Amino acid sequence: MDIDKLTLELLMNKTTYQKYVEKTDPKKFEENRTYKEKVELYKSRILEITKEYLENPDKQVSLDMNHAFYEYSQSCIRHFEDIDVNAIDDDTLFDEPEKPSTEKSTKKSSRINHFSMKIGRPTKEEPKETVVDDFF
């Protein structure tokens, strides 16, 4: 891949890039369209096997599937850890130190709990189990 194509792929939003690929590389565009159709076709089976792997990480399907799920789950973990670290940094970086028992600290605590629930991180008050179905 030359630099121009790489630059376009990285800097364009997905929709614009797909329009660009449709015009400049019809074969790649068709491959991508076929892939999306297959994902839609096998969506429920993909979700089911993902649930099975999450419930039993030692499940043996095939070497290829086992490796793919391991890599996928590792990537998810890194992504969520990055989100959590950035959320903590963003939340504490510009905040003033906590003041004892004021309405402001109650509002801040509520805001932190709301933000934590939005990113899927359980809070002390309300532990939450995340299920694959919650994302679809």
Let me know how many helices (H) and strands (E) the chain has, helices first. Answer: 6, 0
DSSP class of residue 1 equals -
Same domain? 68 vs 130 = yes
Q: Tell me whether residue 54 is in a domain.
A: no
How many independent structural domains does the chain possess? Answer: 2
Using an 8 Å Cβ cutoff, are 29 and 13 in contact? no
Q: Tell me whether residue 53 is in a domain.
A: no
Q: Which long-range contacts (CB under 8 A, 24 or more apart) does 52-61 make?
A: 54/132
Using an 8 Å Cβ cutoff, are 8 and 17 in contact? yes
The pTM (predicted TM-score) of the whole model is 0.53
Q: Tell me whether residue 88 is in a domain.
A: yes
Residue 82 is predicted with a pLDDT of 92
Residue 99 is predicted with a pLDDT of 59
Provide the pLDDT confidence category of residue 25 given band limits of 50, 70 and 90.
Answer: confident
Torsion sign, CA atoms 19, 25, 39, 37: positive
Cα 122 versus chain centre, distance: 16
Q: Tell me whether residue 4 is in a domain.
A: yes
CA of 74: how far to CAs of 8, 49, 53, 85, in Å? 28, 17, 13, 16
Cα 24 versus chain centre, distance: 30
Same domain? 26 vs 69 = no
Q: Tell me whether residue 49 is in a domain.
A: no
CA of 37: how far to CAs of 15, 31, 33, 34, 43, in Å? 17, 10, 6, 5, 10
Same domain? 88 vs 130 = yes
The predicted-structure confidence for 55-108, as pLDDT tens digits, reads as follows 998 999 999 999 999 999 999 999 999 999 888 766 665 556 555 555 554 544
Q: Tell me whether residue 50 is in a domain.
A: no
Segments forming the whole domain that contains residue 5? 1-41
Q: Which long-range contacts (CB under 8 A, 24 or more apart) does 9-15 make?
A: none
Q: Tell me whether residue 90 is in a domain.
A: yes
The predicted-structure confidence for 28-47, as pLDDT tens digits, reads as follows 889 989 999 999 999 999 99
pLDDT higher than threshold 80 for residue 119? no
Of 50-54, 67-71, 122-126, the poorest mean pLDDT is in 122-126
Average pLDDT on 104-129 reads 51
Which uninterrupted H or E stretch holds 133?
Answer: none
